[in-house]
Amino acid sequence: MLALAALCLPATAAAAPWEDATTGTIGPTKEWSNKLELADIDGDGQVDILFANGAGYNSAEGPEQSRVFLNQGAGKPFKEVSQQVFPQPGQTRVIKARDVNADGAVDLVVGNSFGNQSWLFLGDGKGGFTDNTAKLPQQNAGIGDLELGDVDGDGDLDIVLADWGPGDAGGEGAVTQLWLGDGTGAFTDATASNMPQIKVSWSWEMDLADVDNDYDLDVLVSCKTCDGSFLFHNDGAGKFSDASDLLPQFPNNYEFEPIDLNGDDFVDLITINDGPGNTEHIFLGDGAGGFDDATADLWPANANIAGDDNMVAFLDVESDGDADFVIAGLFGNDDRLILNDGSGHLSLQPGAFAPADSQGSLGIAVADLNGDNKIDVVFSEGEAPQNADRVFLAVAGPGRHRRPQDLHRRRLADPRGAGGPRPRPRQQDPCHAPRLQRGRRRAQRQRR
């Protein structure tokens, strides 16, 4: 009888998968944070947090101190070491943690915008860094994003940079840059010889992925103010050709995120804000370097929320082996969780973040911050009055959260700074290379 009565009780509301733990982790911040990076920069096995700060939407509003917080372990406040790592403020858009000189220690590549030189800091593996910016190409650019990977197959990391030029974003633009690494932490500008001479006026996001299954990294560049976005195919030696006609073209794209969404072993793409009413798109890859718009079939309108969003991060929140993702929302669009049924069909899980009151989420990254085998979420905040970065710790879900093994790299809790499953491209330090997607494995099977 008691069991029957219990069945008749009203259902209680499910707990939010993530709860705000900012106060007990990093505390209050106030700068304009653009992107963020999660990596173990001091070699203690804990994931640290780096916020790329610098005020300004499409024009500079002043340099700011980027913030660095060292993880002290579960239940303890993070330790701030911002000025020890970055001695001066900047107009910083992006920070990437990689081992560029193959010494086993995490280094930091810093992309600066609005006509400022980007920076390189070499790490000692214990949290100390030495300025090595003199070994970068010297130029005043507008870097909206950058990625590192071995694009020319020589075994060391190179840098591809989305550049809108030295002035305000949205103007004439600039060519996507390529800096080839020599394995010692020095880089040479190969943009003129190796990249399509196509100017991109305003890009906040670029990515590397093997979209055509030819065993090299191709380049995807979003554009806010262009008629569409850009795809550059790699010839295997680091020379790129324009293949943008193989992408569905829509203006106002803020983001490319490569992922195998439907489990066919080919790279697919999520885009942000380039749909009707600033909704999103799904582009399914054909494995040969082209993509088809599958948004209408896979992403129902009640889960594809109109409004201003900025970025995506993937994870497997249900531990069912497929790619779910979280979206960073702006100005009343909640940060939210999108669930995948395994075939690429998506649904919205309401109330994923408690409280859902951040207003200016510009960046998002995921990792297990406290060692409980659940993936936590960090947001970088800008463009909003409070500009308070946020840390959300996972508190609910069916056991261990994980990332599907085919997920594109986005720095999880690898103690050396790259995170996620170890990639297979040719690298001196494969832990710090962008992962070549599962489509490669399918191509390998087909070629045997």
The DSSP secondary structure of 330-342, one letter per residue, reads BTT---EEEEE-S
Q: What's the pLDDT at 13?
A: 52
Q: What's the pLDDT at 357?
A: 78
Q: What's the pLDDT at 402?
A: 54
Alpha carbon separation from 33 to 29, 38, 149 (Å, rounded): 9, 14, 25
- Please name the helix (run of DSSP H) or strand (run of DSSP E) that holds residue 97, with its range, or none: strand 92-98
Q: How many CA atoms lie within 13 A of 338 on its CB side?
A: 28
First to last CA, the chain: 63
Q: What's the pLDDT at 296?
A: 97
Of the ranges 9-23, 119-133, 341-355, which one carries the lowest mean pLDDT score?
9-23
pLDDT of 354 > 80? The answer is: yes
pLDDT of 14 > 50? The answer is: yes
Q: Which amino acid is at 222?
A: S
344: phi > 0 → left, psi -120 to 50 → alpha, else beta; which?
left
CA distance 187 to 343: 42
DSSP 401: -
Q: Judge contact between 399 and 372, C-beta under 8 A.
A: no
336: phi > 0 → left, psi -120 to 50 → alpha, else beta; which?
beta
Q: What's the pLDDT at 386?
A: 74
Q: What's the pLDDT at 6?
A: 39
Q: What's the pLDDT at 162?
A: 98
pLDDT of 227 > 70? The answer is: yes
Between residues 433 and 293, which one has the greater pLDDT? 293
Average pLDDT over residues 167-182: 96
Q: What's the pLDDT at 387?
A: 72
pLDDT of 395 > 50? The answer is: yes
pTM comes to 0.88
| Cβ neighbourhood burial of 274 (10 Å; 0-12, 13-18, 19+) | buried
- Mean pLDDT: which of 13-22, 67-76, 420-429 is highest? 67-76
